[in-house]
Structure 1
Amino acid sequence: MAAGLERDGRKFHIVTPLLESMALSKAAGTKVYMKLENVQPTGSFKIRGIGYFCQEAAKKGCKHFVCSTGGSAGFATAYTAKKLGIPATIIVPMSTSQVTVRKLEEHGAEVEVFGKVWDDAYVKALTLAKTDGWVSVHPFDHPLIWKGHASIVRELKDSLGCRPGAIVLAVGGGGLLAGVVAGLQEAGWQDVPIIAVETKGADSFNAAVRAGRLVTLPDITSVAKCLGAKTVSARALQCASECQVISQLVEDMEAVQAVEQFLDDERLLVQPACGASLALLYTGCIQQLQREGHLNRDLDSIVLIVCGGSSIQMAGLQALKTQLGMK
């Protein structure tokens, strides 16, 4: 099956819709287009890069995939592995919900719970990957994964026909950021600003940018667990020197409020990691960045990458609101 796949794994991911949002445009003060990665077969953009990585590994004789993840990367690995007819083991940290564990098992994967945060699960995955024929699928840090994610920008170029004024995305370990930068470089759009958003408590990229070097957080305290890499990838930090990457932080409560507002506005339920980038628009940060000179005052359009909603349900949203003391 692998031999017949296209060069960017297109047998696994779909070309996602690019839709204008009236509500987000009003909030941001300029036209906002939503790149709806939440409608991918596995619920997030991760299927682009991981689908491509697994496709290439299958060509080289992989007999078993192992992936450490808090959710979205695991769904992408399990889905792709099933399509390729290759077993998959997903290692999840203890912070992962039972709903996510059950959904991963329904995708046909074997699931093992290990460690407090993703970094712990990753060490376990690397140990298992020493088994002959097993391949570790990193959730965000591999050139093939970035190459797969770059397909987002190719689709944007086809849909828009001209470069957007800015791209807003959430950053966790940095895979999406690295993929978008690769896509912008391929398209000749290196001058398009990227606004990379994290929640406080999962802000390893912001810490690295401020320090000018990789920084390991002592712990992940944010509710946006899909952003929970204690150390961002080296490539993500490098991207900040190659393109205009503006690092921004939002509060957990702002991210969760944005998830709820987005559900009302667009009838789409996304996870708090995606809520972080939504919160940037809803809270007026775009206008603040324009006032401060970081963005053009005559910004004609923004593309918001709606990165995913594979690990959220209404009960989970209500639990997060309760945890944060929200009504």
Structure 2
Amino acid sequence: MITLANVQEARERIKDITKVTPIFTSEQLDGICGNNMFLKAEHLQKTGSFKIRGATNKVKQAVKEGATFITAASSGNHGQAVAYIANQLGIPACIVVPEDATRCKIEAIQAYNGQIEKCGTTSAERIPRAIELAEERGGVFIPPYDDAFIMAGQGTVGLEILQQVPDVDMILVPVGGGGLISGVLAAVKESNPNVRVIGIEPDTANDTYLSLKANTITRIPPTSTIADGLRTSQPGDMTFPVLQKYLDDLLLVSEDEIRVALKFIYERMKQVIEPSSAVTIAAAMNGKLNETGKKVACVISGGNVDVEQLSTLLG
């Protein structure tokens, strides 16, 4: 299980690549939520999401151990992040994407000199192919979340929040496979256990919610939530125990609640974020925290949204 020390080591390893992203505030949002809201702007991070943190930590370690070729399976933020850091380090990378990947996502990966291979339409098809490619070429497969170096890298978000809002009461984190929230939990709970860390999932992609209730990893069928970065079928084998140990609560938000929050951030705060980022704001806006007058940090996990789909996303 990862520790605060792992996250601190990751911070040193990635600091020459990643940004310390800013915190945004909004008096109007404070009024709606009944709390003092602090938005951690990972949509302004390199490659447009928090994923570059974990990818940098993992790829640098792989290169240190002699890797000369990198693969990943992702059509989104993880694929872009892996392609970016591999390119920065002068290592070729192949990103296995689904057959139906959108043009803009493929172009984003190619912009970082990432090679593209299309395979199937599900992660169950893409991941084995990416692993196979790594084995064929003596490379290293970079998993999206279920890896200690990935988790520790993502946890640096938590360290930054503690520095930027030292008297924060609670931190809201989007939950997909669990790489981000497990890292944040290790960083925050071992630094200040009094800070509450709450995970947020779409109610149509509630695999972690169900897993926590059952006290065992529980798989769900594919989902069509607009929060596409949170469409995992189950939490990770490595991430889930960290949530079981440290997580204070996990809340669910509806598709309509996500859309309303997304629209608020676009119209009132003029920030382009992706639906997965809006789940934390949706929970706070709809009174799900059951507390007022608190200092609440919301992780805005990314901003890589397909502009051609904006009208659909905003309803």
CA contact (8 A) 1:191 1:244 kept: no
Report deviation, 1:268: 0.7
Matched, 1:178 2:182: yes
1:139 — aligned with what? Answer: 144
Worse-matched range after superposition: 72-81 or 222-231: 222-231
1:98–1:245 CA distance, 2 compared to 1 (3 A): farther
Report deviation, 1:6: 7.4
Matched, 1:21 2:15: no
Matched, 1:166 2:205: no
Report deviation, 1:258: 1.7
Matched, 1:210 2:207: no
1:234 — aligned with what? Answer: 237
- 1:164-191, Cα deviation, whole Å (9 max, x unpaired): 111011111100011101111342x223
CA contact (8 A) 1:271 1:309 kept: yes
CA contact (8 A) 1:169 1:277 kept: yes
Matched, 1:279 2:282: yes
- 1:293-316, Cα deviation, whole Å (9 max, x unpaired): xxxx6x520011111012x14322
> Secondary structure of the equivalent of 2:145?
coil
- Among 273, 295, 300, which residue is 2:294 paired with? 300
Q: For 1:54 and 1:248, how far apart are their aligned partners in 2?
A: 32
AA paired with 1:26? G
AA paired with 2:46? P
1:60 — aligned with what? Answer: 65
CA contact (8 A) 1:94 1:117 kept: no
* Matching of residues 10-49 of structure 1 within 5 Å: 10-49=15-54
CA contact (8 A) 1:118 1:229 kept: no
> Secondary structure of the equivalent of 1:303?
strand
Q: For 1:218 and 1:256, how far apart are their aligned partners in 2?
A: 22
CA contact (8 A) 1:119 1:229 kept: no
* Matching of residues 238-249 of structure 1 within 5 Å: 238-249=241-252
Matched, 1:111 2:116: yes
1:197 — aligned with what? Answer: 200
Q: Give the count of matched residue pairs.
A: 306
Structure 1: stretches of 5+ with no match in the other structure: 291-296
CA contact (8 A) 1:239 1:245 kept: no
RMSD over equivalenced CA pairs, Å: 1.9
> Secondary structure of the equivalent of 2:135?
coil
AA paired with 2:312? A
Report deviation, 1:98: 2.0
> Secondary structure of the equivalent of 1:180?
helix
Q: For 1:101 and 1:152, how far apart are their aligned partners in 2?
A: 27
- Among 311, 314, 319, which residue is 2:307 paired with? 314
- 1:277-303, Cα deviation, whole Å (9 max, x unpaired): 2211222222xx33xxxxxx6x52001
Report deviation, 1:129: 2.1
> Secondary structure of the equivalent of 1:309?
coil
Report deviation, 1:200: 2.7
AA paired with 1:272? P
1:97–1:202 CA distance, 2 compared to 1 (3 A): farther
AA paired with 2:181? L
- 1:217-270, Cα deviation, whole Å (9 max, x unpaired): 122232222112111112332123322431111122321232121111211111
1:294 — aligned with what? Answer: none
Report deviation, 1:215: 1.1
Q: For 1:55 and 1:142, how far apart are their aligned partners in 2?
A: 14
Runs of 4+ in 1 over 3 A off after TM superposition: none
> Secondary structure of the equivalent of 2:297?
strand
1:23–1:313 CA distance, 2 compared to 1 (3 A): farther
- 1:147-176, Cα deviation, whole Å (9 max, x unpaired): 1122222222222233x1110111111000
Matched residues, percent identical?
25
1:111–1:14 CA distance, 2 compared to 1 (3 A): same
CA contact (8 A) 1:170 1:196 kept: yes
AA paired with 1:168? L
CA contact (8 A) 2:70 2:140 kept: yes
Structure 2: stretches of 5+ with no match in the other structure: 1-9
Report deviation, 1:46: 0.8
